Structure 1
Amino acid sequence: MHSSMCLALKKLVDRVMKIFPEIEAARPGSSTAIQPLNEALEKAKLLLQYCSESSKLYMAVTGDDILTRGSRSKKLLEQSLADIRTMVPTALAIQILEVLQDLKSTELSLESSEEEAGKDIRELMRQSTSSSVSSDEIRDFHFAALKLQLSTPEAVAVERRSLKSLYGKLGECEGNKRQILKYLLCLLKKHEKIIWRDHKDNSLTLHQSSNDSVCAGVADAGCSEEYNATLPEHFKCPLSLTVMYDPVIISSGHTFERMSIQKWFECNDSCPVSKRILDDFTLQSNVAMKDQISKWCSKKGLDVQDPAMKHVNASHNLDFSIPSFSSPLYNISDLSCFRSSDISSSFSTESETEIRDSTHSEWEIEPLCELSKLPWNAQVKVVQDVRSLFEQDSKAARSMSPSKFIEPLVTFLKNAHERNGTDVVKDGLELLLTFLSGNRRAIDSLGEEVFEMLCVFLGSELVAEETLNVLEVLSNHPHSLSKITSTGSLSCLLKIAESGAENLQEQAMITLKKLCSSNEICLEMVSLGFVQKLTSFLQQNVFSKHSIIMLKNLCNTEKGRVCVTETPGCLASISDLLDSNVSEEVENAISILLQLCVEKIEYCYLVVREGLNIYSSLLLISNNGTEEAKVGASELLRALEEVEEVEEEEESSTPQEEATTSQKWCRRDKRLDWKLLATLSKNMRAMESLEVCSTLAHWETVLRVVCSALDREMNKKVPGRYVVSSWEQL
């Protein structure tokens, strides 16, 4: 229950547990420092255990409370990790920072079906005015049970045990909770017979020609052995609970009826069984399963009904499958106030409306299937008409077959490009954009020729904007990233960002930024010289926000980190962003420098050498930056200090030669500068609070005095070393 929330919370707990042994080994602060983290983990684990074992019905009713507990557990993990982060070594602090970022970016939520079920049951409890259960309550409860997957005898039995177990744990003082559980047990008990009856009746759905023959067939089924034969569970579709006519396998590995799963994917992006979010929505025929079902039906002398035929004849047939509106209540003898004829009439009316809408939709879209056979002017008119249809009905794309839509449209676009029909190509690309935006499954079916065509269109300034719009949508889909880059679009996008029209440059950078979320693409970008180009953007102060994010992603690869440190001016440009007024740029710049300094001591030397004012900038950020920037700046300063300590130890163990001494003081120049600035910063804040100095002249006097004293001290240690005074350097 609450699977989406629990999966998200469990993922966070697993992330914390992965680094927990290192945190324990680091012994941050004292034993009391790690105790809050232990308590937060324990509370999160208890909540996960409760959700896995407790009653689905009760958790649906108390869904808001469960969500609040989950959010509170997440917040406790954030707070405890944030406190510990300042007490551990830099390398471990970076790992904790990554976990903290995941915690902050994760939003816990309930699934819509669970929220609706909980709302329905709470409404039933509010409306219940007597100790007896009415027929309306049973009907509403049935629909709520379906939303919670309580549609089989096994699920009902487990739910009943969970409710009784929960009831037994409550004390006498918890009367309100006990009353809720009593009510739910009463509903479940009244409803259990219906679920058993539905489960038996739904063993097989046969195609009948009329309503009378269906009723007769059901009557005969009660006394016929062949109808009482048990249908194997794996022959049933988990969604429709009827025998599968055209079984297909989805990416999660589960098998469903093709029509049922297609309808499910129109409004959902998860597996109905595992609840796992899917990226791949392709359907693969389960030939082996279909053969088994066919043999079983032949042996029993039965025939499986085509769901498509059932849909067409819906106005003439009653559906006895469990999702049917009328089936669970049709067999209840004591529901005198609930007439099955009313349901049948309502069901028929809705079905006829669906058929009319479907026919109208097919009449509008079917010409696209044979688009290439029409005269050119007629093809253009059809594309414009379909575009108008999408503008009127944004959901129209969901019901269309991707293959029957994409292939003729791509052929049309290629022909339009050859005819130099710019406006026609624009219309076609806008239609493609609308279709892909409204039909996510279509993106999976796009072949290489589509991406090759888009790459060609990128080279044309006249249609580049429309092409970029399409690529931006595709770049949001993980499976499209490699296809985009394999056609050479990276170079085209970079060219547009460098020298394209002003209104297209930033859009190209946004698309490139999305593409570099993949490490494989990052490696290709490094090979194409992206680091040099991004460095140029930073030096010109254009697209800095996008460029620094891309450099940060490129640094996630070893090849990218090496290239960043070896590219002239790159580290200096990144360091310059420490003085930026845009907090996001500052945070990303610190993240890159910190990642480099933690990995290799050589990178620390490069960072200090390239970043002329890095110490003063970091000191300023650690005092006045955003919360994240302050933490990062402090970590980076600490990393540089650790490098200095290692360097000093090495110097103390090395023979004191003249050349070595000279090099040693050269390396210490920047270290002295930043320590001087740190001292001055503290003194200035103290003097400012005491109102000792109130003018710029006073500050200058103080600085000159301190610099003069520093020069005297340095010349005592290395006579003649400091030709230029500290004041002139400052």
Structure 2
Amino acid sequence: MAIHLPDHFKCPISLEIMSDPVILSSGHTFERSSIQRWLDAGHRTCPITKLPLPEHPSLIPNHSLRSLISNYALLAPIHHTISQPETLISTLASPSSPLDSKIDALRHLTRLSKRDSAFRRRLADSAAVPALLAAVDHPALQDKALPLLLNLSLDDDSKVGLVAEGVVARVVAVLRRPAASPDSRAVAATIVTSLAVVEVNKATIGAFPAAIGALVAILRDGKGRERKEAATALYALCSFPDNRRRAVDCGAVPILFRNVEIGLERGVEVIGVLAKCKEGREQMEGYENCVHILARVLRNGSSRGVQYALLALTSLCFYSQQMVLVALEEGVLEASIGFVEDDNEKVRRNACNLVRVLRGTNNHNRVR
């Protein structure tokens, strides 16, 4: 049974109780993830008033409403019925439970596990995981099951066990499923990122058939948020060297550059990592305007984008005199010099390394 909270506690977009309410410049409040998806889709009007918004709308946390929702839920008379996880797990696991009851159980378990690490560990060690994985496989339950699975993946002690339970197969199936919602694919990619925090999982996930290919496919065909989360997951996996070659083999390089060209700066981070392997550099050298795109990030990108553009250019120029010549023509040396005293230590270090390579201080850039 659900908690009945006042209607103004519900997001006008998702119609669900808000956990992270934010105020738009129009004065209306939304769940952060819902309004962010609206904005990521390219909308620049308020969903309620239809009035225009600024190019980069601010989302101001509505702390007072968040506190009201939290306090109301804690004081609600029915709260004692949702504080017994065994009942919820039993509902989720039972084949005879109605679909609505399973959806309700997933919602409550997700809310209870969101901020309580002890509760998450308790769930991860219980019969909840097999039932949860079955829910991920169920089209009608998938959207509610994935956020709970993400919550369980947040604790380092549970990450390896979840992979052993078969989470990767379920997550990859969601990533590859044409009928899955963009939100589901985005959450599935975020689960990959979370699991890949543990080094052994990077190798396990990367070796799983179609895992990296599914992320690359989302970068090619997906929408705003799911592409961003796919790039983040790919970056996490590609800190493991074998996965860099797998990503290159899946055609990641040209797809990443196309994403960077249309504004997905997170793709630069993956490019910076892939440039560490020979196969990645060869693909980049063969991509028209590769250096031009990275040089544009140096001029217009965020600090993190600049950091990885410098890293990629250093790798390319270190091993290729042709790349050095192209970089010099694009004004990369002058741009790099501008970062040698940057406040960001990583930007500063990468800029100094690139300047040395472009000035010929290093002699390895003639040898592959």
Partners of 1:645 and 1:411 in 2: CA distance = 57
Partners of 2:353 and 2:103 in 1: CA distance = 61
* From 120, 124, 131, the counterpart of 1:397: 120
Percent identity among equivalent residues? 16
* From 236, 241, 252, the counterpart of 1:514: 236
TM value normalised by structure 1 = 0.33
CA pair 396-439 structure 1, distance change in 2 beyond 3 A: farther
The answer on 1:491 being equivalent to 2:213 is yes
Partner of 2:323: 606
* From 578, 593, 604, the counterpart of 2:313: 593
Partner of 1:573: 293
Deviations 1:648-676 (A, max 9, x none): xxxxxxxxxxxxxxxxxxxxxxxxxxxxx
* From 642, 665, 668, the counterpart of 2:360: 642
Partner of 1:434: 151
The secondary structure found in structure 2 opposite 1:642 is: coil
More off after superposition, 403-412 vs 392-401: 392-401
Larger Rg: 1
Displacement, 1:518?
Answer: 1.3
CA pair 595-373 structure 1, distance change in 2 beyond 3 A: closer
CA pair 567-384 structure 1, distance change in 2 beyond 3 A: closer
The secondary structure found in structure 2 opposite 1:575 is: helix
Displacement, 1:587?
Answer: 3.3
CA pair 564-626 structure 1, distance change in 2 beyond 3 A: farther
Displacement, 1:634?
Answer: 4.9
- Mind listing any 5+ residue stretches in structure 2 that lack a counterpart? 1-82
CA pair 548-611 structure 1, distance change in 2 beyond 3 A: farther
Partner of 1:198: none
* CA RMSD, Structure 1 to Structure 2 (Å): 3.7
Deviations 1:569-613 (A, max 9, x none): 223322343333533333333333333444x4xx12332135523
Is contact 2:340–2:352 with CA below 8 Å preserved after alignment? no
Partners of 2:299 and 2:85 in 1: CA distance = 60
Partners of 2:336 and 2:144 in 1: CA distance = 55
Partners of 2:349 and 2:105 in 1: CA distance = 59
Partners of 2:358 and 2:315 in 1: CA distance = 12
Is contact 1:372–1:411 with CA below 8 Å preserved after alignment? no
Partner of 1:470: 191
The secondary structure found in structure 2 opposite 1:498 is: helix
The secondary structure found in structure 2 opposite 1:543 is: coil
Q: Residue type matched to 1:500 in 2?
A: G
Is contact 2:193–2:233 with CA below 8 Å preserved after alignment? yes
Aligned residues: 277
Partners of 1:571 and 1:532 in 2: CA distance = 13
The secondary structure found in structure 2 opposite 1:395 is: helix
Deviations 1:260-291 (A, max 9, x none): xxxxxxxxxxxxxxxxxxxxxxxxxxxxxxxx
The answer on 1:408 being equivalent to 2:131 is yes
Partners of 2:292 and 2:332 in 1: CA distance = 13
The secondary structure found in structure 1 opposite 2:360 is: helix
Partners of 2:107 and 2:326 in 1: CA distance = 61
Displacement, 1:565?
Answer: 2.6
More helix by share: 1
Partners of 2:249 and 2:298 in 1: CA distance = 27
Q: Residue type matched to 1:477 in 2?
A: V
Partner of 1:534: 256
Partners of 2:335 and 2:110 in 1: CA distance = 54
Partner of 1:246: none
* From 164, 172, 193, the counterpart of 1:455: 172
Deviations 1:21-68 (A, max 9, x none): xxxxxxxxxxxxxxxxxxxxxxxxxxxxxxxxxxxxxxxxxxxxxxxx
- Mind listing any 5+ residue stretches in structure 1 that lack a counterpart? 1-359, 647-730
Displacement, 1:632?
Answer: 4.5
The secondary structure found in structure 1 opposite 2:127 is: helix
Structure showing greater relative contact order (alpha-carbon pairs closer than 8 Å, 6 or more residues apart): 2
Is contact 2:159–2:195 with CA below 8 Å preserved after alignment? no
* From 357, 374, 377, the counterpart of 2:96: 374
Is contact 2:93–2:128 with CA below 8 Å preserved after alignment? no
Deviations 1:206-248 (A, max 9, x none): xxxxxxxxxxxxxxxxxxxxxxxxxxxxxxxxxxxxxxxxxxx
CA pair 476-571 structure 1, distance change in 2 beyond 3 A: same
Displacement, 1:627?
Answer: 6.8
Is contact 2:153–2:162 with CA below 8 Å preserved after alignment? no
Partners of 1:396 and 1:406 in 2: CA distance = 13
Deviations 1:310-357 (A, max 9, x none): xxxxxxxxxxxxxxxxxxxxxxxxxxxxxxxxxxxxxxxxxxxxxxxx
Is contact 1:608–1:614 with CA below 8 Å preserved after alignment? no
